[in-house]
Amino acid sequence: MRVLAVGDIVGIPGREYIYNNLNRIRSKYNIDFVVANGENSASSNGITPEIAGMLVERGVDVITMGNHTFGTKTAGKALEENPRLIRPLNYPPEFEGRGWVIQDLGFASVAVINLIGRVNMSPADCPFRAVEKALAEIDADVVIVDIHAEATSERIAMANFLDGKVQAVFGTHTHVQTADEQILPNGTGFISDVGMTGIMDSVLGVKKEIIIDFFYNPGKHFRFEKADEGDVWFNGCIFDIDDKTKKVTAVERLRFSRIDD
């Protein structure tokens, strides 16, 4: 089984790239299941029911979120209406949506869990205890975890905490793909950050002139605008999972701007 994790989809360029290319990517790499982070897929931040529906229609099996989950007025509606859209599990239970979902592919069931870190992030419940509790309730052949976190150490700690308990752990949020893809001692695949799918000529998907000014003139009020011109880079990671042992046998990073059939 081949699972593809797609890095944070940023704005119109990022989501249009997914709409137009994901099925070709699935075909070229023989992908069975796709998880994509969509917390920045709206023009501002967050997601809408329309964007969530289109991402699923164009080949995303489960959409995960993060600290910008409720960045649009209709995000709560999207979470309630779309069963393939999940938000961080360790958010307060009063929030709309849920933190994990199971998809039945016919030949295997796949659970996806969404967590958010606590280091340099807004307050949230403990992701370690939250995922531990969820795993006691989940009955699936394969479990994939998106840990949306700022600190690399927190993501690596989570991966080792879950080693042998889930098939794959991948990080999102920092938008920069890391070169630490690996298989942990007990068979769990891991990468600290899968990167982003958005405009490459930017600062993490935001217009670079704005971010340069932000650092050059600290204290000044800024309105961040997402970059909308230039090549879009697709960032993702493939996890190969053995059908019998349910352990990861290979982890492959993907990073390109154009996909050839």
Q: How far is CA 125 from the centre of its chain?
A: 19
Query: Tokens at residue 228, please?
Result: 């909308």
Q: Is 123 buried (19+), middle (13-18) or exposed (0-12) by CB count in 10 A?
A: exposed
- Look up 175 and say whether it is catalytic: no
Q: Is 146 buried (19+), middle (13-18) or exposed (0-12) by CB count in 10 A?
A: buried
Torsion of Cα atoms, 170 then 75 then 138 then 151, to 10°? 30
| Cα 74 to Cα 137: distance, rounded to the nearest angstrom | 29
How many residues can be counted in the chain? Answer: 261
User: Which run of H or of E encompasses 174?
Assistant: none
Q: Which of these is catalytic: 68, 148, 173, 175?
A: 68
| Cα distances (Å, whole numbers) of residue 214 to 82, 132, 181 | 36, 39, 32
- Whole-angstrom distance between the N-terminal and C-terminal Cα of the chain? 21
Q: Write down the residue that tokens 């190969």 correspond to.
A: 240
Q: Please say whether the dihedral angle defined by the alpha carbons of residues 59, 61, 66 and 70, taken in this order, is positive or negative.
A: positive
Q: What are the residue numbers of the active site?
A: 68
